[in-house]
Amino acid sequence: MGSLDSSKNRGSRPDINITEFPDLGEGGAENPSITDGEHVILECRHCNAPLVDVWVTSPEVVMVSRIQASCGHCDNKSFIKTVHGKFYVGETDYSLVSSVQYNNIETDEIDRSIVLSQDVLLSTVKIKDYV
Ligand SMILES: [Zn+2]
């Protein structure tokens, strides 16, 4: 429980779980590599619907992600948010993430498994009207 290497991973990046947040339990994280970091809500720049809850868990990790979400309410997009470190993405009251794309991935020259920077595009679908 609480492992970053959850079996619920989807997509090509094993350290990002797009389905749900891990269970932190009473009184904080069981896994010391998980910190209860910053939550960033990506909102649609057109209709302002909350699209994605981005939770930064390991801000010390050298990885920069430029995250943008498409809106299932109006077919527009959020602004791009730059996040440092590992992160999870979760649903909001109004939207859930249906797919994720990684573009412009830049890896370490020696260890190609280390991602230095990437663009992340999250597709979302509407689950509740936002008014
Ligand atoms: Zn929208």
Q: Whole-model pTM?
A: 0.73
| Surrounding residues of ion ligand 1, Cβ less than 5 A | 44, 46-47, 49, 71, 73-74, 76
- Could you please report the per-residue DSSP string of 63-120? -EEEEEEE-TTTS-BBPPEEEESEEEEE--SSEEEEEEEEEEEEE-SS-TTSEEEEEE
Q: How far is the CA of 120 from the centre of ligand 1 (A)?
A: 18
* C-alpha 70 to ligand 1 mean position (Å): 8
Residue 116 CB neighbours (<10 A): 12
Cβ proximity of 51 and 42 under 8 Å: yes
Instruction: Tell me the CA–centroid distance for residue 33 and ligand 1, in Å.
Output: 35
- What confidence tens digit (pLDDT) does each residue in 12-30 have? 444 554 444 444 434 444 4
* pLDDT of res. 126: 97
Q: What is the pLDDT of residues 28-61, one digit of tens each?
A: 444 444 556 788 999 999 999 999 999 988 888 8
Ligand 1 centroid vs 40 CA: distance in angstroms?
17
Distance CA 49, CA 128 (A): 10
**Cα(43) to centroid(ligand 1), Å:** 8
The rounded Cα 114 to chain-centroid distance in angstroms is 17
Percent of the chain with pLDDT over 70: 73
Q: Cα 68 vs. chain centroid, distance in angstroms? A: 10
Whole-number Å distance, alpha carbon 102 to ligand 1 midpoint, is 21
Q: 85 CA to middle of ligand 1, Å?
A: 27
Between the CA atoms of 99, 13, 59 and 26, what dihedral angle is there, to the nearest 10 degrees?
A: 80
Question: From the CB of residue 78, how many other CB atoms can be counted at a distance below 10 Å?
Answer: 23
